[in-house]
Amino acid sequence: MNAPTTPTAPSTAAAPAGVAHPKAIRSFVRRTGRVTAGQAKAFADLAPRFVLPYRAQPLDADAAWGRSAPLILEIGFGMGEATAHIAALMPDKNFLCCEVHEPGVGALLKRIGEQGLSNIRIVRHDAVEVIDHMLPDACLAGAHIFFPDPWHKKRHHKRRLVQPPLVARLARRLAPGAYLHCATDWQPYAQQMLEVLSAEPLLANTADGFAPKPDYRPLTKFENRGLRLGHGVWDVVFTRRPALGGPMDAPARP
Ligand SMILES: C[S@@+](CC[C@H](N)C(=O)[O-])C[C@H]1O[C@@H](n2cnc3c(N)ncnc32)[C@H](O)[C@@H]1O
């Protein structure tokens, strides 16, 4: 695929004093995957309209979608099966979808073309940097993290997406009342999700522990295969608390 490349320099925000370029711990590895002819064609035809460049500056969502609507962030959409399903179900919402895997971006563009979807925009970049640099506080109506890489080995746990620092930054991007929905088929990670989200002061659980699967999240091919093999799946759904009394939570003055 003749896709433009985006810079992926690690953020230096958390650099210890004197370290200009810390080695970022990323939640993904860049896999080389075969891009099909259909995905490549979808990229050539549709990327100019649906792929937004990563820029270390606040996103102008109204301009990017050509309308004002509640914004939902998705981190790591894989091949975009659930993404396209949910976007079709909720045409009144704007979906900002981050993925670094090139064939996945092509696959979602193909679905966008086939299903005539107009409410998705893709950023082919590390979602952590998108959150840090493109999303202002309280701009999101929701966030989806479905089946993030479980990083099974203990020495790789530091790569897991759902950890306190990222969740704290993501929670600030949620508007009061907005939701964060995570799902996984790896029980220890499900437990970690529940613990990390429960410990975040800005978030409140919508359930008593794990949540029932919300209807909008489809059972994907991958999930169905797991269920046939007897694997479990856990959903965790929290909402942003209305106010904590901090400066960002102060009520607007007339
Ligand atoms: C296990 S797959 C799950 C894909 C999809 N959500 C699903 O349910 O089938 C996780 C995906 O997240 C992507 N990913 C991981 N960390 C990411 C990040 N920081 N930014 C963007 N994508 C990321 C990976 O490239 C991978 O495609």
101-141 pLDDT, tens digit each: 999 999 999 999 999 999 999 999 999 999 999 999 999 99
How buried is residue 51: exposed, middle or buried, by Cβ count under 10 Å (0-12/13-18/19+)? buried
26 half-sphere exposure, CB direction, 13 A CA radius? 15
112 Cα: distance to centroid of ligand 1 (angstroms):
18
Asked if pLDDT for residue 4 goes beyond 60, the answer is no
Q: Given 149, 185, 208, 215, which residue is catalytic?
A: 149
Distance CA(254)–CA(247), nearest Å, equals 16
Instruction: Give the rounded distance of the alpha carbon of 163 from its chain centre.
Output: 14
How far does the centroid of ligand 1 lie from the alpha carbon of residue 97, in Å? Answer: 10
User: pLDDT at position 2, please?
Assistant: 37
* Dihedral angle, C-alpha 141, 165, 222, 1, nearest 10 °: 90
pLDDT at site 30: 81
Whether the predicted model's global pTM rises above the 0.85 cut: yes
DSSP letters spanning 121-159: EEE-S-HHHHHHHH--TT-EEEEEEES-----SGGGGGG
Rounded to 5 degrees, what angle do the CA atoms 164, 166, 170 make?
A: 115
219-240 mean pLDDT: 91
- Residues 57-100 pLDDT 10s: 999 999 999 999 999 999 999 999 999 999 999 999 999 999 99
Q: Which residue has the higher pLDDT, 207 or 251?
A: 207
Gyration radius of the chain's alpha carbons: 18
Q: What is the pLDDT of residues 163-221, one digit of tens each?
A: 999 999 999 999 999 999 999 999 999 999 999 999 999 999 999 999 999 999 999 88
Is residue 149 annotated as a catalytic residue, yes or no?
yes
**Residue 23: pLDDT band with limits 50, 70, 90:** low
Q: Which residues contact 222 (CB under 8 A, 6 or more apart)?
A: 78, 81, 147
CA distance 249 to 251: 6
Instruction: Choose one of 6, 8, 11, 28 to mutate for the ligand 1 pocket test, by most ligand atoms within 8 angstroms of C-beta.
Output: 28
List ligand 1's pocket residues with C-beta within 6 A.
27-28, 75-78, 82, 98-101, 104, 126-128, 146-149, 161, 220, 222
Pocket test for ligand 1, best of 77, 83, 156, 158 (most atoms within 8 A of CB): 77
For the domain 37-247, what is the CATH superfamily, name and number? Vaccinia Virus protein VP39 (3.40.50.150)
